[in-house]
Amino acid sequence: MGVEEAAEIVGCLRASFRSGHTKPRAWRVQQLEAVLMLLQDREKEIQQAVYSDLAKPPYETFTGEVALVENACKLAVKKLKEWMSPEKVSTSFALYPSSAEIVPEPLGVVLVIAAWNFPFLLAMDPLVGAVAAGNAVVLKPSELAPATSNLLARLIPFYLDNSAVCVVEGGVSETSALLDQKWDKIFYTGSSRVAKLVMAAASKHLTPVTLELGGKCPAIIDSSADLRVACRRIAVGKWGNNNGQACISPDYILADESIVHKLIETLTSTLKEFYGEDPRASPDLARIVNFSHFTRLTKLLDHPSTESTIVHGGQRDEKNLYIAPTILLNVPCDAPIMKEEIFGPLLPILTVKTVDEAVNFVTARPKPLALYVFTKRKSVKDVVLRDTSAGGMVVNDTMLHKCYIGFLSTMQSGIKVSRLVKVFFSHLYDGMGWDCSLSFLISHLGVLARVAWELIMASTRLITLVTERQFYAEVFLQIFLQGILLIAV
């Protein structure tokens, strides 16, 4: 696809949006219900496509992709009326009797560029948000997950409105042609390297962007932690989460030196319990996405500074793109594996003497996308929460913040991500209410005094105009109502 074809696609979608076709609530609900129907009708096909791309177990595809899209749809249908409703905003005393409100509106025509590691979720979740907000959408699935990309290109036109939703398949040339167009919003999930190109293209038109990127996500394990619970939850977050190919998977562990050997022993036994003596034969472990990423990971593993630190795993099968769950102990801080996001089944463990040392290690590096801490001590939890910063933090578990709070990011890990629906409205009012504090009253004493004086003067004028006693009740009623109105403003 060239630039001219991309321009034609965008032009058709923009004409559809400008006609007002996508704005009514009824249209949005219809599209969301169509997505729910797609999920119900084609669940097996979705699982097969994702398995073809990543050998991801079907239950993992359902819980980590299909179910999350379904929940997003149901939430949007339930909350859409509320999200679309204007929000009243208080105005100043000086502007009485004015009123103000903030009206959420769709942004226009948006581009969603999905990643390969969760090829269905990361395509459909932003699509649900964009459609719920009333936008026209171009979806660009990842070419590194070709089976899922082909499935989306085939199913979305069948279920959704073709005049407002379009799927474009392809690689670098197609993505470049799309980025050359003027968009009202770009939503990108992927690497920091490509994100820079996306931002550069968006800057030509001052297009707002949302970036879901990555980073190194540490897990701090204190000596008081329940190691059995910690290891099971880390194993699920690492190897049970697309075999480590997830941006919020634990990237490395900072463990108290007094428990490190017990930690390795417990983590090793947990892996055997989850995946058997030979994880290669386990149906519950995904594979590396392609040969390029397999080569990248093996280079990290075979680096002279790293290969001697392997304490468990390390086996690989190039033909089947398999790398065993691997644990490494005390990898040098300047080793390549500690300088870039691993995004695979390799898990370094570094020992620290105190929680302060772990905190200093984390804060000396770029802010992580997620940070996990395992401890029974409230003081340790408080120190980590107070002295570190990350896109999201979870205490005594991993990844759960994504399900309940949404994808949050900071600095190099991304830009402006929370609940996905919100980023596709032009503005959503977050609530400002009255400030009833003493400082507010003091700062507005002049206005309050003026209001009181005006009430007194208005009462005096009205009383002097009244000559008939029977009108007194009506007059004072008018004064009372005027006072109430002034105070209510």
Give the Cα separation of 361 and 353 in Å (integer): 12
- Please give the structure tokens belonging to residue 197: 């190109």
Do 116 and 127 form a contact (C-beta atoms < 8 A)? no
**Measured CA distances, 342 to 153, 217, 233, 265, 293 (Å):** 30, 10, 19, 22, 10
Give the Cα separation of 346 and 306 in Å (integer): 11
The reply to whether 247 belongs to the active site is yes
Give the Cα separation of 125 and 65 in Å (integer): 9
The reply to whether 43 belongs to the active site is no
**Measured CA distances, 14 to 88, 135, 182 (Å):** 30, 10, 10
**Measured CA distances, 142 to 116, 122, 395 (Å):** 5, 9, 33
SS3 406: coil
C-beta atoms surrounding 191 within 10 Å = 15
- DSSP result, 287-323: --SSHHHHHHHHHHHHSTTTGGGEEE---EETTTTEE
- DSSP result, 23-58: -SHHHHHHHHHHHHHHHHHSHHHHHHHHHHHH---H
SS3 373: strand
Cis amide linkage into residue 97, ω under 30° from 0: yes
* Dihedral (Cα; 59, 62, 63, 65), 10-degree rounding: 140
- Tokens 């690497």 sit on residue: 191
| Active-site residue (options: 65, 73, 247, 341) | 247
Give the Cα separation of 166 and 21 in Å (integer): 15
Give the Cα separation of 424 and 422 in Å (integer): 5
| Active-site residue (options: 212, 217, 231, 341) | 212
Do 218 and 250 form a contact (C-beta atoms < 8 A)? yes
Indicate which residues carry an active-site annotation: 212, 247
